[in-house]
Amino acid sequence: MSNRQAEIAKALGVVPPFADTAALSAEVERRKAFIKQCLHNAGVKVLVLGISGGVDSLTAGRLAQLTVEELRAETGDQGYQFIAVRLPYNVQHDEADAAASMAFIRADVEDTVNIAGAVSGLSEQVAHLHGLTDARRDFVIGNAKARIRMVAQYTIANANNGLVIGTDHAAEAVMGFFTKFGDGACDLAPLSGLVKGQVRSIAEHLGAPQKLVAKVPTADLEELRPGKPDEDAHGVTYAQIDAFLQGEAVSPEAYDIIVSTYDKTQHKRDLPFVP
C-alpha cells in the first residue's frame, strides 16, 4: 500500500475486507446500532430515504427498515417508522428494478414524488441554461435533479420530524461521485466507509435479489444517456477502486485516475470554504 492509498483510506474510514460471514454479520449489526444512535441523539423516530433501484439505496433502505422494526420491538413504541420514497423523473428507464427494490425493502411507508415538474419549472426560469450545448445542459440539469430529490426528501422528513438517510460509501466518496448538496446531502450515511463490493455483500447477506445485487451502477441523471454506467464516468472500474481503497496494487493508470479525482473533488467532502 502506498502512502497516498493509506492516507486516503484513513480519511474515508475504509472498512477492512470482511474476514468471514461472522465479520460481515457483525458489520451489519454495527450499522444498525449506528442508525439507532442517530435517532436517539436527534430525539426523532422517523427515517426517510429515496429508493432508486440501485444496490446502494436498496441496502441502506433494508438496513433502515430492519432497524426501526427492532426499535419497535425493543421499546414498544410504534412511532418508529421508515419512509421509502420513489423520486422518478417522468418514467424511470429501470422502473422494474426500482419496484423490485421497494418490494425487497418492505418499508413501513412507501411514497412517490415525481420530480419532473419541479425540474422543468426551474429549467424554464434559469436563462443561463439556454446557451449551453445539449450535452452541457443535460449535465447541469442532471445535478438539478439530484438537488430537487434532496429537497423532496427533506420536505418529507420535516413533515414527519425525521432524518434523511444518504447512501454515500467509500467507493463513491473517493471519486467525489455525488452531487454536492444533492445526493451528498443527508443527516446520516450508514454505508460510509464501505467499498462497493462490501455494499453488495451486505445486500446479498440481507437476502436481496441477485439481479439487484449485481446490477450495473448508474446515477441515471442524464437524459441523453439514460442508465449511463458509473464506471464510464469514473474511467476506472469499481473493482479497481475497491482494490485501491483496501491497499491492493492497481495499475499505474488506475492509481493516477483515482488519486487525481480524489484531489480535485476534495471540495465536495469539505465544509464550505471560509476566510
**Residue-level pLDDT at 226:** 81
Q: What is the mean pLDDT of residues 21-35?
A: 98
**Residue-level pLDDT at 221:** 84
Strand partners, 112: 86
Could you tell me where the DSSP H helices lie in 185-228? 196-205, 210-213
| Any domain includes 274 | no
- Give every strand in the sheet of 162-164, ordered side by side: 109-112, 81-86, 46-50, 162-164
Percent of the residues in the chain that have a pLDDT greater than 70, as a whole number: 100
**Residue-level pLDDT at 230:** 86
Q: What is the pLDDT of residues 49-89, one digit of tens each?
A: 999 999 999 999 999 999 999 999 999 999 999 999 999 99
Q: Other CB atoms closer than 10 Å to residue 275's CB: what's the count?
A: 2
| Any domain includes 257 | yes
| Any domain includes 275 | no
Hunting for cell 484531489 — which residue is that? Answer: 263
| Any domain includes 245 | yes
CATH number of the domain that 216 lies in?
3.40.50.620
Range of the domain at 32: 3-269
Q: Other CB atoms closer than 10 Å to residue 80's CB: what's the count?
A: 21
Q: Other CB atoms closer than 10 Å to residue 227's CB: what's the count?
A: 12
The pTM for the full model equals: 0.94
| Any domain includes 37 | yes
| Any domain includes 42 | yes
Task: Considering the candidates 56, 168, 183, 242, report the single residue annotated as catalytic.
Answer: 56
**Residue-level pLDDT at 10:** 97
**Residue-level pLDDT at 33:** 98
| pLDDT of 135 higher than 90 | yes
DSSP 132: S
Q: What is the pLDDT of residues 121-131, one digit of tens each?
A: 999 999 999 88
Is 27 tagged catalytic?
A: no
Mean pLDDT of the chain: 95
Q: What is the pLDDT of residues 168-187, one digit of tens each?
A: 999 999 999 999 999 999 99
Amino acid at 268: K
**Residue-level pLDDT at 70:** 98
How is residue 180 written as a grid cell? Answer: 454536492
Q: What is the pLDDT of residues 220-256, one digit of tens each?
A: 788 888 878 889 889 999 999 999 999 999 999 999 9
Task: Considering the candidates 172, 183, 187, 242, report the single residue annotated as catalytic.
Answer: 172
Domain count of the chain? 1
Residues 155-193 as b/e (b if ≥16 CB within 10 A, e otherwise) read: ebbeebebbbbbbbbbbbbbbbbbbeebbbbbbbbbbbb
**Residue-level pLDDT at 66:** 98
| pLDDT of 1 higher than 80 | no
Is 56 tagged catalytic?
A: yes
* Higher local confidence (pLDDT), 144 or 222: 144
| pLDDT of 219 higher than 80 | no
Q: What is the pLDDT of residues 82-118, one digit of tens each?
A: 999 999 999 888 899 999 999 999 999 999 999 999 9
**Residue-level pLDDT at 227:** 79
